[in-house]
A and B are shown apart, each in its own frame.
Chain A
Amino acid sequence: MLGRMRRAFGYLAFAGVLSVVLAACGGTSLGPAGESPSGSEAPSGQAPAAKKVFTIAYKDDLATLDPAVGYDWTNWPAEKMVFDGLLDYDDTTNLVPQLAESLPEVSPDATVYTFHLRHGVKFQNGRELTADDVAYSITRVLDPATKSPGAGFYMGIQGAQDFVAGKADHVSGIEVLDPYTIRFTLSSPDVTFGNKMALNFAFVVPKEEVEKYGADFGHHPVGTGPFTFVSWTPGQELVFKKNPDYFKPGVPKLDEVHIQVGVEPEVALLRLEKGEIDMMGDPIPTADLARVLSDPAWQDRITKAPQVSTIYIAINTRVKPFTDVRVRQALNMAIDKDRVIKLLGGQGTVANQILPPLMPGYDPDYQGYPYDPAKAKQLLAEAGYPDGFETTMDCLDVDPQPKICQSFQQDLAQIGIKLDIKTLESGTLIADAGTEGKVPLVWSGGLAWIQDYPDPDDFYSPILGCGSAVPGGWNWAWYCNQDLEAKEQKAIGMTDREARLQAYREIFRALMDDAVWVPVYNGEYIIAHGANVVGKPTDFAHPEHTIRYEQLDLK
């Protein structure tokens, strides 16, 4: 229907200059009910009738709002607006019940999880949510037809393998006991299963709506969440409005959320300064960071929060010459990480290992590889490449990533490696990196592995384990070590926390010895927002959800 409306404006525009002006104004009437001017016309703080319209701007358009599919830092918080999972996080990283009435009952060996659902929660189409919907949603993620990048998280459910292979028509480990009770049985112990049920992939979708829209569900999302999806003008804006029937009292506080897309970060920053938008979705451009941070006028418009992330170069272990560990180690010694921090305007700290410092299991005693180009060159020579070689690196096309990649280019040139940089939009980069043998090196900047849940396993299974070294997976190093896989299988079931963390320390040290990544730095969130936006730091930059729109408010 939206498409038809836009086309009608097209005919108007043909008529000449006067109607061209009409068409230009017409763009805004696509918004809810056509009455409110878009956020850029009237700063939300002064909106009539105190309607709280919150506007945020991003550079890239969102690809989808299907929680089973969209899995990056722009999609995720938007999906969180429309959908809910069984579990959620509090202001920090403790699990709390969401659609579930309480935390799940877990068997002593961590293989059986039983969830009791809240009664009376309604989808935005008016139907009540039941345990069947939860079963449907998880099964849908596992279904290969959904093409969900998150399927790997749920492969541990009993019968999932058979279902994916087409040997069963349902997943035996998912059982609906009654409309408000669902039980998951795992094939091996997993203490992190609760965390996995708080991921966007486990958000509950209504079957009838998914079937109604088919592949287009991602453009017509319907869930139980605090906001209802209103409209999506591709390349311009997404609009959400408050869900008046939301099951949690007191939230959301905003009436509408507008996500503007196609806005360059530097333009977004200026619009923010002029009060045209309420928040920048992208990081502050490094060109402006120093100025903004030192300006007293910006003090109450900046929110800082640690990011439990490691930004790294993934080395494709299945592409020559990176099949040779010495070449991978050489890369680790050739990168000048301090320079990267400088290019970032001083934000972030140099990383020497895979886990970020705030993650349980981080090894403060590990020293990492030194910056030593001479040693690196020597390693290359030992590996049979005294004169270096040519290779390519994929990079996100958002500032400052292309810049950082050029810094790597100079670093690698010093040890004789000629690096060719491909700057890509995030969707293409993720697809490329997830295609076996396609991309030798991937710079994860802008797409960095931000933790899904506060457990070291989150940095192994989804990005370095064998299960993720598959087409469309996130194991961009295409690394699969059966030995480590066995150790991880043991560690994930350990209920003694210290022993468990020690086991992970060993796994991650082995990964560093094998040099599958060059960990470059650990990130930090610096969010720019309007002075009238009210929210805790973790509402702007929650370690799990990034933005929590339902918690934000406008003065």
Chain B
Amino acid sequence: MSARDAWHRFRKNRLALVGGAFVAALVLAALFAPWISPHDPAEQFDDGLTAQGLPVPSTLPESTRFLLGTDELGRDLLSRILWGARVSLTVGVLANAIAIAIGVAVGSVAGYVAGRTGQVLMRVTDVVMSFPTLLLAVALVAILRPSLWVIIFVIGAVYWTWIARVIYGETRRLREMDYVEAARSAGARTGRIIVRHILPHLLPTIIVWGSLGIATNVMLEASLSYLGIGVQPPTPSWGVIIREGQNFYRTAPWLIVYPGLAIMLTVLAFNLLGDGLRDALDPRQRR
């Protein structure tokens, strides 16, 4: 299967293309947030609050300077959502990188070596998996005190098990392949076989999980932040915006609706992209 075949198949999948395009747009928005945001996301504008001290809706004619309205402190919601994309993507991508690194290492070694080492590794995976994911994350963040890096680390540390499981299964299958047998009988060392002969064949799986995992991690970050145990104010994270805005759901429902849509669309896009990649890279699993 060549990369060109995969691309060809991917291109025909309209949903995956839409997902990919949204992801690309999101990455651009996050990268250029400082330049494309209409305002400083942290600035509390005096005209960002009504005379009664309430958020300004986007529908008022005099509020054209706040396209999506303002939040409970008179900050520009659009700017906060754009900057929030940075937080979501940073956490999503970096946490996933950690998860993939651990998951691939554990899964491939356990799958290839089997025997006692493999058993121990998979048992460790079982142990971590038996903790409810979000609760474990919540407890770890509480212990380490919330900060952006702690959240990235913690999400990576709870999420790798899922990847390890998948990689483990894949490796078990690859292990029985003829070329691996051949390398083994030619006297190649275990580490070398894993790196040279197993890992390259795991690449499609890793790419697929690279996308699906980001979707999950974006959701985890939003949930943690919504619970107040994630990114801390005033850093604009979508979960934080909803947490802070939920008191105003009657007077300013836009504070919940827009950041929620941002989370949903982002997760959806990464899921569509991941599904498309899976179909393109691994025709066996096509539905």
Residues of A within 8 A of B (CB): 265-266, 285-291, 339, 342-346, 397, 399-400, 402-403, 406-407, 409-410, 420-421, 423
Interface size on B, residues (CB 8 A): 21
Interface residues of B in 242-257 (CB under 8 A from A): 244, 246-252
Option from B42, B53, B244 in Cβ contact (under 8 Å) with A346: B53
Q: A397 contacts B250, CB within 8 Å?
A: no
Q: B251 contacts A288, CB within 8 Å?
A: yes
Pick out which of these stretches binds chain A: B29-37, B185-193, B206-214, B228-236: B228-236
Query: When A407-B44, A423-B228 are in contact, do A287 and B73 touch as well, CB less than 8 Å?
Result: no
Option from A286, A399, A400, A421 in Cβ contact (under 8 Å) with B233: A421
Interface residue? B221 (CB, 8 A)? no
Which residues from B are CB-within-8-Å of A339? 44
B207 vs chain A, min Cβ distance (A): 39
Q: B42 contacts A287, CB within 8 Å?
A: no
Q: B251 contacts A287, CB within 8 Å?
A: yes
B137 vs chain A, min Cβ distance (A): 19
Which residues from B are CB-within-8-Å of A266? 246-247, 249-250
Which residues from B are CB-within-8-Å of A399? 247
Query: When A410-B44, A421-B232 are in contact, do A291 and B251 touch as well, CB less than 8 Å?
Result: yes
Which of A339, A420, A423 has the largest number of chain B CB atoms within 10 A?
A339
Q: Would you list the 3 A-B pairs with minimal beta carbon distance, nearest first? A: A290-B52, A287-B248, A342-B53
Alpha-carbon separation in the docked complex, A421 to B49 (Å): 22
Q: A342 contacts B49, CB within 8 Å?
A: yes
Q: A288 contacts B250, CB within 8 Å?
A: yes
Secondary structure dominating the interface of A: helix
B148 vs chain A, min Cβ distance (A): 13
Interface residue? B279 (CB, 8 A)? no
Q: A290 contacts B233, CB within 8 Å?
A: no
Option from B232, B233, B247 in Cβ contact (under 8 Å) with A287: B247
A41 vs chain B, min Cβ distance (A): 24
Alpha-carbon separation in the docked complex, A263 to B73 (Å): 24
Which residues from A are CB-within-8-Å of B246? 266
Option from A345, A397, A421 in Cβ contact (under 8 Å) with B53: A345
Q: A287 contacts B252, CB within 8 Å?
A: yes
- A265-B247, A410-B44 known; 6 other A-B pairs, CB under 8 Å? A266-B247, A266-B249, A400-B72, A402-B233, A403-B72, A403-B244
Q: B53 contacts A344, CB within 8 Å?
A: yes
Which residues from B are CB-within-8-Å of A403? 72-73, 244
Which residues from A are CB-within-8-Å of B251? 287-288, 291
Interface residue? B54 (CB, 8 A)? yes
- Proximity string of chain B (67-90) to chain A, C-beta cutoff 8 Å, 1 when within and 0 when not: 000001100000000000000000
26 residue pairs A–B, Cβ–Cβ below 8 Å = A265-B247, A266-B247, A266-B249, A266-B250, A286-B247, A287-B248, A287-B251, A287-B252, A288-B251, A289-B52, A290-B54, A291-B250, A342-B53, A343-B49, A343-B53, A345-B54, A399-B247, A400-B247, A403-B244, A406-B73, A406-B233, A406-B234, A407-B73, A409-B234, A410-B42, A421-B233
Which residues from A are CB-within-8-Å of B249? 266
A446 vs chain B, min Cβ distance (A): 14
In the complex, what residue of chain B is closest to A413 when comparing beta carbons? Answer: B42
Which residues from A are CB-within-8-Å of B233? 402, 406, 421
Which residues from A are CB-within-8-Å of B228? 397, 423
B19 vs chain A, min Cβ distance (A): 35
Which residues from B are CB-within-8-Å of A291? 250-251
